[in-house]
């Protein structure tokens, strides 16, 4: 019997033959925490008595969730993280460098390795063919110290995507559609493995958007095979040497196969208060939106800002709708400035936030008022997520977000394209 | 043997419900953070729960973020164990790592306020109010050993590695 991508990568990193259902000890190639999960990880590390970090060059602390810090307590947490980096030699990405998952994609993740992040959206790096998964602070702390972790080899679902997106439809619409189909726990413990014509044609950025949200169906990881697109991306980041060709065996055993025709999809949206609560954008047309947020590890990359800038070019946001933009990294910001997107977005009435998580998790910047609705390009809309349990969050593509910012209501982007 | 009262919750209780992001600044002040445990689903939960009581939930308990604080604050609030029909994988692992027992069983057979008795060693849940016994899903061996040591840190302190 052939192997799935998950089984192949975990076989390579465990020194044994990894089959779905096995419990293995895997070598961890990269481990990271962020400012929300890092302080607890450091406390646990201290408590465990393990002083040494197995590979400080492959252990990273990110200051992105509350950056710049909105409070004294969080500023003090940042100090703790910086001091630890200095003492232990682990890497640190400080305020303004960007969201951890974007920086992992840009500068750290290698195809074929096991990546653990103390953040659930660590699955993002699966787009580069890394077995990337989120764990809690203690698991990641121990992985940093020992360079290994225990894992259950997941069963896999193959997600076969044929056809091409039609105008106004994007990777975000596809992944929202899939989560609606699977349900918020439909893939719990599983590996989602993407394949098919549409997947081959996707840019790296689109693959990141999809892998990023695998966890919203409960998945342990969301994996893409590596190909020329992967190689070109790694080359462009100066990391071409880390490329490895990876694909599942043709006779691999999949627990489920789900087929989606990309050409049949329409702009899709997730309604409050759960990600799998899916509708078509046009079905919600007219819903008033107080704030639009474009950014996050899901959709804060250059192509996302380009789509938004194209739709907003020469137009203004609706006077009753705030428009917030947070580029996913400082490199994204620089490129968006050079391309003129930032100028366009600001002229349309947008507020530019520093690279980082922005208002995504309700820590600072752009918290919602009682009864307000936000259309966000993020990945989660749980009650209270953006700082207020009395608010409502809709999730959509950057195109849907930009169109809705202009009209002030949920709007199908195809109407403005 | 654990004995206490059931506090019943529904399906899809997320880590944002359990430990809201707006209290991010309290993450290095766990006793304060724990005062807000589950407040977005059950305001005042922390004042109602008694040490040794149980959180009983439906499907997919703990979905969402990897914040281990969600498992930590439930434990700090005095909850002796979580029972659910199913749990999100990161939360499940976190609960075991912080020494909070999490049992997968048919929680439809438990009502809010029921008196429960849990025998962890033998994976047994008894509903004393209804007089029924509920079968419980088994842990993988590695998780059982971690739980028996009281969490991952005591486990590593004792064994040095996995
Ligand atoms: S952008 Fe949002 S989802 Fe992504 S890491 Fe930051 S808080 Fe989490």
Contacts A271 to B, Cβ<8 Å:
none
- Among A202, A226, A408, which Cα is nearest to A210's? A202
Q: Which residues of chain A have pLDDT under 50?
A: none
Q: Enter the ipTM.
A: 0.93
| Residue with tokens 């787009």, as numbered in its chain | A127
Among A70, A99, A376, which is best to mutate for testing ligand 1, by the most ligand atoms less than 8 A from CB?
A99
| Number of separate domains in chain B | 1
Please list the pLDDT of chain B residue by residue as tens digits (162 residues): 899 999 999 999 999 999 988 898 998 899 999 999 999 999 999 999 999 999 999 999 999 999 999 999 999 999 999 999 999 999 999 999 999 999 999 999 999 999 999 998 788 999 999 999 999 988 888 998 999 999 999 999 999 998
Among B12, B17, B68, B73, most A C-beta atoms within 10 A, so best to mutate, is B68
Q: CB A362 to CB B93 under 8 A?
A: no
- Among A205, A399, A392, which Cα is nearest to A313's? A399
B101: which 2 tokens? 């027992």
pLDDT digits (tens, 9 = 90+) for A257-270: 999 999 999 999 99
- Among A139, A227, A293, A346, which Cα is nearest to B162's? A139
The domains of chain A, with CATH numbers, are: 5-261 (3.30.499.10), 268-415 (3.30.499.10)
Contacts of A344 (CB under 8 A, 6+ apart): A309, A312, A313
**Backbone φ and ψ of B100, nearest 5°:** -105, 110
pLDDT digits (tens, 9 = 90+) for A161-181: 999 999 999 999 999 999 999
Degrees to nearest 5, angle at CA B54 with B49 and B60:
120
CA–CA distances in Å: residue A186 to residues A126, A207, B56: 19, 20, 21
Record the pTM.
0.96
Greatest C-alpha distance within chain B: 44
* Minimum distance, in Å, between the CA of residue A416 and any CA atom of chain B: 34
What is the pLDDT at residue B137? 84
Number of H helices, E strands in chain A: 14, 18
Domain span at B110: 2-159
Distance CA A369, CA A351 (A): 17
What is the pLDDT at residue A51? 79
- Cα–ligand 1 centroid distance for A360 (angstroms): 6
Q: Is A297 in the pocket of ligand 1 (CB under 6 A)?
A: yes
Q: Is B144 on the interface with A (CB under 8 A)?
A: no
| Residues 386-415 of chain A whose Cβ lies under 8 A from any Cβ of chain B | 387-389
**Backbone φ and ψ of A325, nearest 5°:** -125, 125
pLDDT digits (tens, 9 = 90+) for A199-241: 999 999 999 999 999 999 999 999 999 999 999 999 999 999 9
Q: Name which residue sits closest to atom 4 of ligand 1, judged by CA.
A: A297
Dump the DSSP string for A353-397: PPSS-GGGGSSSSSPPPTT-EEEESSS---TTTTS-TTSEEEE--
Q: Is A65 in the pocket of ligand 1 (CB under 6 A)?
A: yes
CATH of the domain at B22: 3.20.19.10
Q: Is A379 in the pocket of ligand 1 (CB under 6 A)?
A: yes
- Cα–ligand 1 centroid distance for B53 (angstroms): 33
Q: CB A382 to CB B16 under 8 A?
A: yes
Q: Is A199 in the pocket of ligand 1 (CB under 6 A)?
A: no
* Minimum distance, in Å, between the CA of residue B153 and any CA atom of chain A: 5
């Amino acid at each position: 019997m052939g192997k799935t991508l998950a089984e192949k990568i975990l076989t390579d990193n465990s020194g044994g033959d990894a089959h779905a259902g096995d419990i293995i000890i895997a070598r961890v190639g990269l481990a990271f925490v962020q400012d929300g999960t890092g302080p607890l990880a450091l406390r646990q590390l201290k408590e465990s008595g393990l002083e040494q970090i197995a590979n400080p060059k492959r252990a990273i602390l990110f200051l992105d969730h509350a950056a710049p810090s909105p409070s004294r307590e969080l500023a003090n947490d940042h100090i703790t993280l910086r001091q630890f980096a200095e003492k232990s030699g682990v890497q640190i990405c400080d305020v303004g460098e960007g969201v951890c998952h974007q920086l992992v994609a840009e500068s750290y993740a290698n195809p074929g390795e096991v990546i653990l992040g103390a953040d659930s959206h660590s699955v993002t790096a699966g787009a580069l063919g890394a077995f990337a998964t989120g764990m809690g602070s203690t698991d990641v702390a121990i992985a940093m110290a020992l360079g290994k972790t225990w894992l259950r080899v997941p069963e896999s679902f193959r997600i076969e995507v044929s056809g091409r997106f039609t105008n106004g439809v994007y990777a975000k619409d596809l992944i929202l559609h899939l989560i609606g189909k699977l349900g918020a726990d439909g893939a719990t413990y599983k590996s989602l493995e993407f394949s098919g014509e549409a997947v081959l044609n996707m840019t790296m950025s689109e693959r990141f958007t999809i892998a990023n949200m695998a966890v919203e169906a409960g998945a342990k990881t969301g994996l893409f095979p590596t190909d020329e697109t992967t190689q070109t991306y790694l080359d462009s980041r100066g990391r071409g040497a880390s490329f490895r060709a990876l694909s599942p065996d043709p006779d691999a055993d999949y627990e489920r196969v789900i087929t989606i025709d990309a050409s049949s999809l329409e702009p899709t949206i997730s309604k409050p208060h759960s990600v799998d609560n899916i509708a078509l954008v046009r079905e919600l047309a007219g819903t008033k939106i107080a704030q639009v947020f474009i950014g996050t590890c899901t959709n804060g990359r250059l192509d996302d800002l380009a789509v938004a800038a194209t739709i907003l070019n020469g137009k203004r946001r609706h006077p009753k709708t705030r428009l917030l933009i947070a580029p996913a990294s400082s490199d994204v910001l620089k490129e968006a400035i050079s391309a003129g997107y930032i100028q366009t977005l600001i002229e349309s009435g947008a507020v530019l936030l520093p690279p980082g998580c922005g208002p995504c998790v309700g820590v600072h910047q752009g918290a919602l008022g009682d009864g307000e609705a936000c259309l966000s390009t993020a990945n989660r809309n749980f009650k209270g997520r953006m700082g207020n349990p009395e608010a409502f969050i809709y999730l959509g593509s950057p195109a849907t977000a930009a169109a809705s910012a202009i009209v002030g209501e949920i709007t199908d982007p195809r109407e403005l394209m | 043997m654990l004995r206490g009262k059931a506090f019943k919750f529904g399906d899809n209780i997320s880590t944002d419900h359990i430990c809201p992001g707006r209290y991010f600044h309290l993450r290095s002040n766990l006793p304060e953070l724990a005062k807000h445990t589950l407040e977005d689903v059950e305001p005042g939960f922390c004042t109602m729960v008694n040490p040794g009581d149980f959180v009983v939930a439906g499907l997919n308990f703990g979905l969402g973020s990897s914040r281990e604080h969600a498992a930590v604050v439930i434990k700090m609030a005095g909850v002796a164990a979580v029972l659910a029909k199913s749990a999100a994988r990161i939360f499940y692992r976190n609960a075991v790592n912080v020494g909070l027992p999490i049992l997968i069983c048919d929680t439809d057979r438990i009502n809010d306020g029921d008196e429960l008795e849990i025998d962890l060693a033998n994976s047994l849940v008894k509903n004393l109010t209804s007089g029924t016994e509920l079968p419980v899903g088994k842990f993988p061996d590695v998780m059982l050993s971690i739980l028996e040591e009281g969490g991952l840190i005591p486990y590593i302190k004792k064994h040095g590695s996995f």
